[in-house]
Structure 1
Amino acid sequence: MNTLYGIKNCDTVKKARDWLEKNNVAYRFHDFRVDGLTEAQVSSWINELGLETIVNKRSTTWKELDETSRNSFDEKSATKIITTNPTLIKRPLLDTGKYKHVGFKDAEYSKIFS
């Protein structure tokens, strides 16, 4: 089963959900804020995709982190910080079970589900 991770009011997540529905792709939506995240999930995403791919350093959440957290942010500290502040994750994060993809572009989803 495909899982789309994000937050329901994010415009990019809305576009991804619309695309999946219009293309009859079955998926489960996992809202970071409502459903939460585990350190194991976050750690596996960092290991598979890389910290720079996962974290949105342009986000309001990043900018609101205290300076110490931002300056010491690395693969060791990131898991706990992201679990506590899940909106740091670039959205949406799609997990097909075989493949993980961050962000949404129509052409990319078309390729993934072709």
Structure 2
Amino acid sequence: MLTLYIISNCDTCRKARKALDEKGIPFKTYDLRKDGLSAPLLEHILHRVPLVEAINKRSKTWRELSDEEKDFDANSGRELLLKHPTLLKRPLLEVDDDTILVGYQDGDYDKL
């Protein structure tokens, strides 16, 4: 079964959920804010999605970070995501053991 990592009040996450529902594709949701982002889960995601791709630089949380925090490396980037799970781009759709799709635009799930 697919896993959709979301934040419940995110409009793009709602669109992704609706698209999967409309296509009749079964999935489970994992709310990064409510359920939390643990170090093992973050490593699971980053094994499939590069750190630079995983950080949402358009988010309000990103804009509120200091310049020092924005200048991250692999270790500090992980710490940043664990401290601020809303920095993780979303939605993330885990399709299989090797693939996680990042973000959502209309038509992205048509091939599922």
- Fold-level similarity (TM above 0.5): yes
Taking only aligned residues, the RMSD between alpha carbons, in angstroms, comes to 1.4
Name the one with the larger helix percent: 1
- Measure how far apart 1:107 and its partner are: 2.2
Separation in structure 2 between the aligned mates of residue 68 and residue 107 of structure 1, nearest angstrom = 37
Percent of residue pairs bearing the same amino acid type: 39
Separation in structure 2 between the aligned mates of residue 20 and residue 44 of structure 1, nearest angstrom = 23
- Measure how far apart 1:60 and its partner are: 0.8
Q: Which amino acid aligns with 1:85?
A: H
* Structure 1: gaps of 5 or more residues: none
Q: Find the counterpart in structure 2 of residue 61 from structure 1.
A: 61
Q: Does 2:86 align with 1:87?
A: yes
Q: Find the counterpart in structure 1 of residue 31 from structure 2.
A: 31
Q: SS at the partner of 2:48? A: helix
Q: Which runs of 4+ in 1 moved over 6 A?
A: none
Deviation per residue, 1:83-114 (Å, 9 max, x gap): 11011011100112332100112322112x1x
Separation in structure 1 between the aligned mates of residue 14 and residue 37 of structure 2, nearest angstrom = 20
